[in-house]
């Protein structure tokens, strides 16, 4: 979320002072993208927690939006997903992808109950492969599996991605400050403020509709797991770099 005062970005002076609240996957990416666009911008990331203590560090990081995910319009939702996919694809094409924590990932979705659970209308036309699982592949699911899909997607390991982005931001002259922003008014010396506070926005913006809906994961070493597997009720196993499975 951005809070923009009088000056639109296009008319902003050459070296605006920009604050990014939050150093999770969103904050670090926003800061870096803004540096890409405005080389002379003075970017300061202000965050209470940095890697490894953000929610982003805990996430498995698979690119597979929940089917209820939506922006203000279908077009905007589609654009967000397309742009995000393209952003990660561009990283995947670089030799740094693995060090940045970005990896391609094959994913099976199995269900004993419902064919629709194995579909994802948001990315079926976006990812290179999204197809029904074969009879042979269905045998990899839990006993009683009736339906299945296979898709090719990617995953982002924040434990690598966040420090990498932090390094780029600092190399380009940006600053990483640790601290809690109590109110937007306290940042009145900045030309532009990006709110990337994640769940912290609940208090920063008095947005009491913002509640975490779920999220317990266990990370174990299981280097033999090479694909991601989803079962009913969004249970999953997602492999990562270093042989750690979420
Ligand atoms: C268990 C679990 C598994 C998940 N798995 C996936 C997955 O596989 N794929 C996927 O796409 N998503 C997944 N998610 C969701 C994903 O983790 C989040 O959507 C994502 O990490 C949000 O990133 P963020 O940068 O917005 O927020 P965060 O990572 O929470 O970062 C917020 C930042 O803002 C800072 N901050 C907050 N308030 C303030 C303040 N007042 N002042 C200063 N700093 C502040 C914090 O310290 C932190 O630096 C999962 C989430 C959980 C919990």
pLDDT at 213: 80
Q: Ligand 1 site: residues with CB under 6 angstroms?
A: 21-27, 46-49, 54-56, 58-62, 180-181, 196-200, 204, 215, 217
Report the distance separating Cα 46 and Cα 19, nearest Å. 7
Mutate to test the pocket of ligand 1, among 51, 52, 53, 59 (most ligand atoms within 8 A of CB): 59
**Considering the chain, what percentage of its residues have pLDDT values greater than 70?**
94
Sheet holding 102-111, edge to edge: 130-132, 147-156, 102-111, 228-230, 236-237
Return the domain boundaries, the chain: 1-61+158-213
What CATH class has 1-61+158-213? alpha beta
Q: How many CA atoms lie within 13 A of 101 on its CB side?
A: 19
Q: What is the mean pLDDT of residues 125-137?
A: 97
Choosing from 2, 56, 58 the residue with most ligand 1 atoms within 8 A of its CB, the one to mutate for a pocket test is: 56
pLDDT tens for residues 143-202? 999 999 999 999 999 999 999 999 999 999 999 999 999 999 999 999 999 999 999 999
| pLDDT value for 14 | 74
* Model ipTM value: 0.98
Kindly report the protein residue whose alpha carbon is nearest to atom 21 of ligand 1.
56
């Amino acid at each position: 979320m951005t809070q923009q005062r009088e000056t639109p970005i296009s008319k902003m002076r050459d070296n605006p002072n920009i604050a990014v609240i939050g150093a999770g996957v969103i904050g670090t990416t926003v800061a870096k993208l803004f540096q890409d666009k405005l080389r002379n911008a003075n970017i300061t990331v202000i965050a209470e927690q940095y890697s490894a203590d953000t929610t982003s560090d805990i996430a498995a990081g698979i690119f597979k939006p929940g089917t209820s995910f939506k922006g203000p319009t279908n077009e905007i939702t589609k654009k967000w997903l397309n742009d995000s996919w393209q952003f990660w694809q561009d990283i995947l094409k670089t030799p740094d992808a693995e060090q940045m924590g970005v990896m391609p990932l094959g994913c099976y979705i199995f269900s004993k109950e419902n064919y629709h659970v194995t579909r994802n209308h948001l990315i079926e036309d976006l990812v290179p492969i999204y197809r029904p699982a074969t009879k042979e592949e269905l045998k990899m699911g839990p006993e009683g599996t009736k339906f299945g899909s296979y898709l090719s997607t990617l995953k982002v390991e924040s434990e690598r991605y966040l420090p990498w982005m932090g390094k780029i931001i600092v190399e380009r002259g940006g600053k990483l400050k640790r601290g809690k922003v109590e109110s937007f008014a306290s940042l009145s010396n900045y030309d532009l403020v990006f709110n990337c506070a994640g769940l912290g926005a609940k208090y920063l913006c008095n947005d009491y509709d913002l509640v975490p809906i779920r999220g317990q994961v266990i990370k174990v070493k299981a280097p033999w797991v090479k694909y991601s597997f989803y079962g009913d009720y969004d249970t999953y196993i997602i492999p990562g770099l270093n042989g750690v499975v979420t």
